[in-house]
Amino acid sequence: MLQAALHSGAAHRRSVFEAFARRLPTGRRYGVVAGTGRLLEELASFSFDDPQLSFLSDHRVVDDSTLAWLADFRFTGSISGYAEGEVYFPHSPILTVESTFAEACILETLILSILNHDSAIASAASRMTGAAAGRPCIEMGSRRTHEEAAVAAARASIIGGFASSSNLEAGRRYGIPTVGTAAHSFTLLHDSERAAFEAQVASLGRGTSLLVDTYDVEQGVRTAVEVAGAELGAVRLDSGDLVAQARWVRQLLDDLGNSSTRIVVTSDLDEFAIGLLASAPVDSYGVGTSLVTGSGAPTAGMVYKLVSRQDDDGVFVAVAKASKNKASVGGLKHALRRLDAKGVAQAEVVGVGIEPTEDGNDRPLVEQFVRDGVVLDGWTGPSAVTRAADRHARSVVELPGACRRLQRGEPVIPTEYEEPAS
Amino acid sequence: MLQAALHSGAAHRRSVFEAFARRLPTGRRYGVVAGTGRLLEELASFSFDDPQLSFLSDHRVVDDSTLAWLADFRFTGSISGYAEGEVYFPHSPILTVESTFAEACILETLILSILNHDSAIASAASRMTGAAAGRPCIEMGSRRTHEEAAVAAARASIIGGFASSSNLEAGRRYGIPTVGTAAHSFTLLHDSERAAFEAQVASLGRGTSLLVDTYDVEQGVRTAVEVAGAELGAVRLDSGDLVAQARWVRQLLDDLGNSSTRIVVTSDLDEFAIGLLASAPVDSYGVGTSLVTGSGAPTAGMVYKLVSRQDDDGVFVAVAKASKNKASVGGLKHALRRLDAKGVAQAEVVGVGIEPTEDGNDRPLVEQFVRDGVVLDGWTGPSAVTRAADRHARSVVELPGACRRLQRGEPVIPTEYEEPAS
């Protein structure tokens, strides 16, 4: 495609591409933008190296003039969009790329891969932390997804409100708080549950979390308290009927004088299980599989479409395909969130080719990330993760309360278009 | 956990860990092992570098003696299991690691991340290629999953029977056949659909595939034939009712004298959509989202459990947790596929601590991958992908025909245990 466009000359036309979602995953009330920081970090070093160029050449994937273009590739355009952590709705203009067609075209897979993956995880994380209603959630899903996706998933879960992650590489790269836990294998390795608990407490102190369900939960709790005493940090429950179990384990801990020992629950939790546990005396949730697989929506379904490009006279022309059930809206988009006098979101207002009319309460949504090839400060690195988590917390609290309902429903606010008066 | 086990001394006990799936994803008839080659490639260079050790030290994640152990880490144990591409069932002993507890424990996340991701994709791919019944399937899902997961997904899809991938990096790393396509943006970039087709044919020749649904499919097909003539390679349909559309587009192509022009269909295909298209005159399928997200089962659900370890006298003791609804079976496993006289699979036979009794038709399933830290030849690199795809094709054809049913059902053969006579 690039080669053919270079040959026809059209590759050099200035173009506007837009990443957006036609719809939210079935039943979801809002989405959460994530991955923008990772994308901008990748963009800063995005080029084609010799082994890559040799592959393209050796296998005649592209011709020599296209190879020469790729060898010199460096993105020189501009990128704007929704801040990482911001909520989004159908047709929100999440990312806009302005450059030559060729440059924007080359970035498509990178942009969509990162946004689709990270936004899917952050959107699931947000539902879970909403259901957890203030109790800390711990990301523990690394073993259930691709090894590099796991690091990105840990990052995205923090943006969606998680407190910490068991992924140490995510801690190293992004400064994310990390926590560990002991597995059943640690207990089975030792000659008895008591020997395992003694080994763990000897090495990690009485404030550690002991996994008490390897054999018999009641005996496990009693042994844990005997070994660690009143200072035992937490017990972890990973099987069985967690609601009932948490209640009697809490009672047992209290009866044994361990009223400050916390209860951590894990075991295939998702937002629905977390919601069910709201009435149980649980202190924190460890979430794995369902989080890193987007809780039923493992990809955010974003697409990347050419919405405007220059003609031979340099005039920008809005373009859109007319394909059945996949039509799109041409033209550069602007966006704001319409808020009422109390600051509650009413609508996602998308201006097609124009800035939407803003009243006093509305909040503009589009930020500049890259200008003429230069990534702007503040959107990358560990600080961007904290900033995105903060943005998300402020963004979601603005939504109508129905956004926290877990039942399937429509987007919690509608998307409205403003177009120039004709 | 590692630190506590190093301190108690139990970390040095020889141990056997096993990766297996307690169940298949809901309704699936079989699973496909994938990722073993990637795992062995990673294992060859798996160690902890200075930035990683500094992070662990600076954040006091582990103590100095554990840091020293990690700095020297190199896997010295042995690994055996199912060959990549082999089908599996609940409790099939897919991967067995024999080493000290510490070494096996350190590999858990790497092993499970790779096997859970890649097997999920290969399992979905196998259902799709089964439904395609010989028509080539093309992997096109890179934009719908994490950017590195995309490369692994392309590899896994080939193991599951796909013919090619649009992921060029997968082509470079693994020698996978790659194919490209033009997007709607290429058509929209040009002043007319005709100008776009002319540009593509001028650069890529008449054998190229033209995307004909940007505006009006009938006009698109007529223009494509006018531009490329009878040698037009293919038209791609990406929207609308694909079954009906493929029929009249085939008729139109034939009427225009383009009987050798192929029809490629894309547009959110999954195994069910491919099955529906069986009666339509379609030549190949491009599959994206549903493939790289495992078609409803984005992770294979494998776990990694300590099943046996030495006691202080050096005697191996089978171990298993008793947790409610998560109990496991202790002991080193062996496995074979029981075949009848016609070579049709009857059962997955798992020997617990013993080699199952083999009759003349049975096929042993466990291969050796790593011996005393050395990765054996034949299981890594591009040739391993071809070998795995071949293994998969031969393995699935052995299964009862019901394995190709797309309806939800039980595993197509049962898992049976053989234990030593007591």
| pLDDT tens digits along A85-144 | 999 999 999 999 999 999 999 999 999 999 999 999 999 999 999 999 999 999 999 999
The verdict on a CB contact (< 8 Å) between A188 and B293 is no
Q: Which of residues 344-383 of B touch A (CB under 8 A)?
A: none
A134, burial (CB in 10 Å: exposed 0-12, middle 13-18, buried 19+):
exposed
A406 touches chain B (CB under 8 A): no
The enclosing H or E element of A142 equals none
B3 touches chain A (CB under 8 A): yes
The enclosing H or E element of A364 equals strand A363-364
A133 touches chain B (CB under 8 A): no
B217 within 8 A of B193, measured Cβ to Cβ: no
The enclosing H or E element of A165 equals strand A164-165
Over its length of 422 residues, how does chain B's per-residue pLDDT go in tens digits?
999 999 999 999 999 999 999 999 999 999 999 999 999 999 999 999 999 999 999 999 999 999 999 999 999 999 999 999 999 999 999 999 999 999 999 999 999 999 999 999 999 999 999 999 999 999 999 999 999 999 999 999 999 999 999 999 999 999 999 998 899 999 999 999 999 999 999 999 999 999 999 999 999 999 999 999 999 999 999 999 999 999 999 999 999 999 999 999 998 999 999 999 999 999 999 999 999 999 999 999 999 999 999 999 999 999 988 776 666 788 999 999 999 999 999 999 999 999 998 888 899 999 999 999 999 999 999 999 999 999 999 999 999 999 999 999 999 999 999 988 76
- The string of DSSP codes covering B325-343 is T-----S-EEEEEEE-TTS
- Rounded to a whole number of angstroms, the distance from the CA of A184 to the nearest CA of chain B is 7
Paired with A418 in beta bridges are A351
Round to whole Å and give the CA distance between B95 and B84: 10
B1 touches chain A (CB under 8 A): yes
Q: What is the structure's pLDDT at A422?
A: 65
Considering only CB atoms, which chain B residues are within 8 Å of A321?
A: 184, 187-188, 213-215
Given B4, B59, B117, which is nearest A200 (Cβ)?
B4
B218 touches chain A (CB under 8 A): no
Q: Which of residues 267-296 of B touch A (CB under 8 A)?
A: 267, 289, 292-294
Q: What is the structure's pLDDT at B325?
A: 67
B175 touches chain A (CB under 8 A): no
Given A59, A108, A298, which is nearest B143 (Cβ)?
A108
The verdict on a CB contact (< 8 Å) between B214 and A145 is no
Which residue of chain B has the CA closest to A324? B240
The verdict on a CB contact (< 8 Å) between A214 and B13 is no
B23 touches chain A (CB under 8 A): no
Query: Chain-centre distance of CA B225, in angstroms?
Result: 38
What's the DSSP call for residue B317? Answer: E
The verdict on a CB contact (< 8 Å) between B109 and A325 is no
The verdict on a CB contact (< 8 Å) between A114 and B147 is yes
B16 within 8 A of B307, measured Cβ to Cβ: yes
Q: What is the structure's pLDDT at A79?
A: 98
Number of H helices, E strands in chain B: 15, 19
Note the pLDDT tens digit of each residue in A116-132: 999 999 999 999 999 99
pTM: 0.97
For chain A, the average pLDDT equals 96
Given A146, A198, A299, which is nearest B152 (Cβ)?
A146
Nearest alpha carbon to residue A104 among A13, A194, A220 = A13
Phi/psi at B328 (5° precision): -130, 170
* Mean pLDDT of the A181-205 span: 96
Asked if the model's pLDDT at residue A187 lies above 70, the reply is yes
* Domains defined for chain A, CATH in brackets: 2-121+297-418 (3.20.140.10), 133-294 (3.20.20.70)
Q: What is the structure's pLDDT at B161?
A: 98
Q: Identity (one letter) of the amino acid at A194? A: R
What is the ipTM metric for this complex? Answer: 0.96
A308 within 8 A of A329, measured Cβ to Cβ: no
The tokens describing A31, both together, are 């989405």
Return all residues near A130 (Cβ < 8 A) that are at least 6 apart.
A161, A271, A396, A403, A404
Note the pLDDT tens digit of each residue in A259-306: 999 999 998 999 999 999 999 999 999 999 999 999 999 999 999 999
Parallel, antiparallel or unpaired: strands A366-371 and A374-375: antiparallel
Which of the residues A188, A208, A211, A214 would you substitute to probe the B interface, choosing the one with the greatest number of B C-beta atoms within 10 Å? Answer: A188
A402 touches chain B (CB under 8 A): no
Asked if the model's pLDDT at residue A328 lies above 80, the reply is no
Considering only CB atoms, which chain A residues are within 8 Å of B186?
A: 1, 4-5
